[in-house]
Amino acid sequence: MSASATAVLKARFPQATDRASADHPAINLPLAEVPAALQCLRDEQAFDLLMDVTAIDWAAGATPRFTLVYHLYSTTRREYVRVAGDCTGDEAAPVAPSVVSLWPGANWLEREVYDMFGIRFDGHPDLRRILMWDGYPYHPLRKEFPLAGIEAPLPDAEIAAETQAKVIAAPMAGGPFVASPGELNLAEAEPRAKDESWNECQPKPEA
């Protein structure tokens, strides 16, 4: 039963390929065909719930830089399907097609992806930031964004002018002390300060 959902998609969309998956049936598609594929799954395969829309950042300079991942669930078949599409094209201004016309619930999910990764959704009715404030200059879940944050102006210009306050990076005393992902040897993977040029005794050098 579950294999048929991906089989139907592969018959309908010749460019679809199987996506390596250990849990749910999964399929890779060119991003432009994803809305049509999701509509096919919803209308013909009874996948009535759009559970999740998210993106993966494969690090700056990687090709593809971003992959969009959709998880659908069928309340009648009681199974999931994962549809993924690589966001090809310009790394600085990635664009993806919106699926808000299929599921209005995609509105906030796509706004979150835009907010966190800076991927613009074509056809989205109201593409604004959702978790960060309007006018925030960065996209925090991109890999080049540091864990401590980056100095940014306050959201309210009036208060900023009055108090001279800014949003500042978290003081991490040489940290963050983090382990690195991937199959590394212990010396490389063990938790360590990412920036060892400063600590509690030695102030952070001015950029």
Partner 1 sequence: MATEFAFPDSAAKAAGAEQDLSSERMSLSMGPSHPSTHGVLRLQMELDGEVLTKCDPIIGYLHRGDEKIAENMTYNQFVPYTDRLDYIAPLANNMAYAIAVEKLAKLEVPARCQAIRVLTAELARISSHLMGLGAFGLDVGAWTVLVLSLNQREHLYKLFEELTGARFTTSYTRIGGVARDVPEGWLGRVGEFCDHFLPALEEILALLTRNKIFLDRAVGVGVITREDALAYGLTGPNLRGSGVALDLRKDRPYSGYEQYEFDVPVGAHGDSYDRYLVRGEEMRQSVRIIRQVIARFPGGDWYAPDARKIFAPPKDKVLTSMEELIQNFMIVTAGPQMPAGEVYFEAENPKGILGFYVVSKGGGVPWRLKIRSPSFCNLSILPKICVGCLISDVVTLLGSLDFVMGECDR
Strand partners, 87: 66
Q: Which stretch binds partner 1 (CB under 8 A): 30-38, 78-86, 88-96, 195-203?
A: 78-86
Interacting span for partner 1 (CB under 8 A) from 5-13, 27-35, 88-96, 126-134: 126-134
For residue 204, give the 3-state DSSP assignment: coil
Between 20 and 92, CB nearer to partner 1: 20
Q: Identify whether the C-beta of residue 153 lies closer than 8 Å to the C-beta of residue 166.
A: yes
Q: Does 124 bind partner 1 (CB under 8 A)?
A: no
CA distance 120 to 4: 32
CB of 204 to partner 1, least distance (A): 19
Q: For partner 1, which residue of 7, 60, 62, 147 counts as binding (CB under 8 A)?
A: 147
- Please check whether residue 16 is in contact with residue 36, taking contact to mean a CB–CB distance below 8 angstroms: no
Beta-bridge partner residues of 17: 28
Residue whose tokens read 């996948």: 47
The values of phi and psi at residue 6, to 5°, are -75, -30
Residue 160 touching partner 1 (CB under 8 A):
no
In this structure, which amino acid lies at residue 136?
Y
Q: Which residue has the tokens 């952070």?
A: 204
Give the H/E segment covering residue 186: helix 186-189
Q: Which of 133, 156, 159, 196 binds partner 1 (CB under 8 A)?
A: 133
119 lies in the site for partner 1, by CB under 8 A: no
Q: Which is nearer to partner 1, 164 or 185 (CB)?
A: 185
Is 75 a binding residue for partner 1 by CB under 8 A? The answer is yes
Residue numbers 52-71 binding partner 1 by CB under 8 A: 52, 54, 56-57, 69, 71
Among 1, 11, 63, 78, binds partner 1 (CB under 8 A): 78
For residue 184, count other CB atoms closer than 10 A to its CB. 11
> Encoding tokens for residue 171?
């003081």
Positions that interact with partner 1 (CB under 8 A): 20-24, 48-52, 54, 56-57, 69, 71, 73, 75, 78-80, 82, 103-105, 107-109, 112, 116, 129-133, 140-141, 145, 147, 176, 178-184, 186, 189-191
